[in-house]
A and B are shown apart, each in its own frame.
Chain A
Amino acid sequence: AQSVTQLGSHVSVSEGALVLLRCNYSSSVPPYLFWYVQYPNQGLQLLLKYTTGATLVKGINGFEAEFKKSETSFHLTKPSAHMSDAAEYFCAVSDRENTGNQFYFGTGTSLTVIP
């Protein structure tokens, strides 16, 4: 089974600073990769995903992530944090080999933006 590791359960950045949320996965075969965001008292919504093609993926709200096969990573970045970015962020993978389309989630990173 896949596993997803998100380093740092809590990340704080100043407004306007770079956001970097880390995600590593365990798989010999590159999976499909996702970042989801969860605002307070809401469900998760997709920020971006990587399935194939260009390894730098752009998502909503100015976020982007880069798939690095050699590092088995899919870190999420945003050049300039905004107060509205404060939320819980989840990295997820889906196994290409598994036609059951199972999704595996990391434990999440809570992002705080300091004014």
Chain B
Amino acid sequence: GAGVSQSPSNKVTEKGKDVELRCDPISGHTALYWYRQSLGQGLEFLIYFQGNSAPDKSGLPSDRFSAERTGGSVSTLTIQRTQQEDSAVYLCASTLAGGVAGELFFGEGSRLTVL
């Protein structure tokens, strides 16, 4: 597609359930980021993938959070045993190769509500 695609756009789940959020970046973009945006908060960095390098996981808030990127393209963010504080909008962004400050292209986000 032309832009970054995220799915689902909305997800309501019960506390304790696992959820998977998907991000399909712009074709050819080697760098992919996940951010979390909570109500009234800025963007919280979660994880960063760059090509075949080991991902930067320094922003993941707990071991319940994990992400993978298959074939250097689609990425999945998994949250296990969801908690109410996980409720937020999860944004994915992609850009061309790092090293030069290119523009981040964002998806419209996946809004997660944990009941």
Write the residues of chain A forming the contact surface with B, with a CB cutoff of 8 angstroms.
9, 31-32, 34, 36, 41-46, 49, 51, 90, 92, 94, 96, 99-108
Q: Is the CB of A100 within 8 A of B101?
A: no
Q: Indicate if the CB atoms of B4 and A43 lie closer than 8 Å.
A: yes
> By the criterion CB–CB under 8 Å, are B4 and A101 in contact?
no
Q: Which of B22-53 contact A (CB under 8 A)?
A: 31, 33, 35, 40-43, 45, 48, 50
- Chain B contact patch, size range: 20 to 34
Query: Bound state CA distance, A23 and B40, in angstroms?
Result: 17
Total CB contacts across the A-B interface at under 8 A: 66
Cα A103 to Cα B105 in complex, Å, equals 12
Which chain B positions have C-beta within 8 A of A101?
31, 48, 50, 95, 98-102
Taking the closest CB of chain B, its distance from the CB of A7, in whole angstroms, is 13
Q: Cβ of B45: which chain A residues have Cβ within 8 Å of it?
A: 102-105
A44 touches which of B48, B91, B98, B100 (Cβ 8 Å): B91
Q: Note all chain A residues with C-beta closer than 8 A to B103.
A: 34, 46, 49
The answer to whether A99 and B109 have CB atoms under 8 Å apart is no
Q: How far is the CA of A16 from the CA of B106 in the complex (A)?
A: 30
Which 8 A/B pairs are nearest by Cβ-Cβ distance? Answer: A101-B98, A32-B101, A43-B106, A107-B42, A105-B43, A44-B106, A94-B101, A43-B108
- Is there contact, CB below 8 Å, between A105 and B42? yes
